[in-house]
Amino acid sequence: MKMVKIRFANREDSAKGIAKVMRRGQVVCLPENTFIVPEPALDVLNELGLAYEVLNEEGMDSVIHTLRNPAAAAIQ
């Protein structure tokens, strides 16, 4: 499955969108309202009418590399 790195315009949209998406699939949380979500999650976000920006598409290898990055581990 393709994963997509997205960024929300604001925290409110981020909270609403990610709460819905997390119920349906895996989400990787990154700094600055940035997330890696499964590609079908974009349909959910569009249905909710939330503003987001697609930064790039990621394969699972790239997602795993991001998770193993020490900079990502520092996020709390």
Q: What is the pLDDT of residue 63?
A: 61
CATH number of the domain to which 35 belongs: 3.30.70
Contacts 24+ apart (CB under 8 A), 18-22: 20/44, 20/45, 20/48, 21/45
Q: What is the pLDDT of residue 76?
A: 44
| Residues of the domain holding 52 | 3-73
Q: What is the pLDDT along the chain (76 residues), one digit of tens a residue?
A: 789 999 998 889 999 999 999 998 889 888 888 899 999 999 999 999 999 999 988 776 666 666 566 665 555 4
Indicate the number of domains in the chain. Answer: 1
